Amino acid sequence: MGEPPSLVYGRGLLIRVPAMTLLSVNLNAVAQLRNRRDLPWPSVTGIARVVLDAGASGITVHPRPDERHIRRTDVFELVALLRVEYPEAEFNIEGYPSEDFLELIEEANPHQVTLVPDDPAQATSDHGWDFVGKGNFLTSVVQRLKRPDRRISLFCDPDAGETGIAAAKATGADRVELFTGPYGACHDDPEAAERQLAILSVTCKAALAAGLGVNAGHDLTLENLPAFQAAVPGVAEVSIGHGITADALLMGFAEAVRAYNNVLD
């Protein structure tokens, strides 16, 4: 994590980018499996220990109002776990900035907050923010949540463009998280995947040139990460849940984390 950054060109400028993309493991799928029964397993905190011991840099959760996967109690159990046993690990909480969510963030105090424009009924995140249309709203939320020890990231459509990125920067956010779902959906169409990578690359370069850090997430896998890494340099962190959980069913969580880190390094 202490390796020096490298340089890439973006809009005619040399941009400093991280030397390695860090892995944050999203535990929503683990919690959803647990919630199929009124039983305490699989343990969300137990799996958090496994993935952090195996080399993950952090944990991501996306608590929703109906608690269909991550529960409020999970959030505070993870807070306690990370503070006591893994003080160097990062805790990232995603969610729509409702008043309940904002109060949860203020109480839990995670290292990173990723704001998403989800409707509460959505099965999963499927689009980024309208940075121009929601600029005033996002600015007020960012101002409320931002602290010297807390990073704010905004979920970003792959084709946000320079205008959208400029509006995201104006909110005061620290990073954007590239929505990679459209790229992940091209798993059986290499030509479409190439087109999506080109779009993501343009947006990533625009964000870096604007002084924003870049995260990425949604439907990234061991199979599509190498091409993503090659085409979209400069991503600081990926948040992966569904793909790594699916791989963990075959190889175990610890080995899955090591496999993803090998690709990201």
238 is a domain residue = yes
1 is a domain residue = no
Domain ranges, residue 134: 23-264
4 is a domain residue = no
At residue 171, the pLDDT reads 98
14 is a domain residue = no
12 is a domain residue = no
113 is a domain residue = yes
Closest CA to 114 of 100, 130, 125: 125
State the pLDDT confidence band at 125, using cuts at 50, 70 and 90. low
Strand partners, 43: none
Verify whether residue 127 is a known catalytic residue: no
Is 50 exceeded by the pLDDT of residue 13?
no
Instruction: Report whether 203 contacts 162 (CB < 8 A).
Output: no
Residue-by-residue DSSP string for the chain: --PPPEEEEETTEEEEE-SS-EEEEE-HHHHHHHTTTTS--S-HHHHHHHHHHTT--EEEE---TT-SSS-HHHHHHHHHHHHHH-TTSEEEEEE---HHHHHHHHHH--SEEEE----TT-SS------TTTTHHHHHHHHHHH-BTTBEEEEEE-TT-HHHHHHHHHHTT-SEEEEE-HHHHTTTT-HHHHHHHHHHHHHHHHHHHHTT-EEEEESS--TTTHHHHHHHSTT--EEEE-HHHHHHHHHH-HHHHHHHHHHHH-
Residue tagged active-site, from 62, 69, 90, 177: 62
Average pLDDT of the segment spanning 91-117:
97
Q: Which amino acid is at 164?
A: G
Residue tagged active-site, from 90, 177, 218, 237: 218
39 is a domain residue = yes
83 is a domain residue = yes
Verify whether residue 88 is a known catalytic residue: no
What are 1-10's pLDDT values in tens digits? Answer: 344 455 444 4
At residue 123, the pLDDT reads 62
Instruction: Report whether 199 contacts 159 (CB < 8 A).
Output: yes
In the chain the first and final C-alpha atoms are separated, in Å, by 11
What are 196-209's pLDDT values in tens digits? Answer: 999 999 999 999 99
CA geometry: angle 162, 92, 200, nearest 5 deg: 30
Total domains in the fold of the chain: 1
At residue 126, the pLDDT reads 72
What are 25-70's pLDDT values in tens digits? Answer: 999 999 999 999 999 999 999 999 999 999 999 999 999 999 999 9
**% residues pLDDT > 70 (the chain):** 91
pTM: 0.91
Residue tagged active-site, from 90, 94, 177, 237: 94
Report the distance separating Cα 97 and Cα 115, nearest Å.
6
Verify whether residue 111 is a known catalytic residue: no
The CATH number of residue 99's host domain is 3.20.20.70
Q: Which amino acid is at 31?
A: A
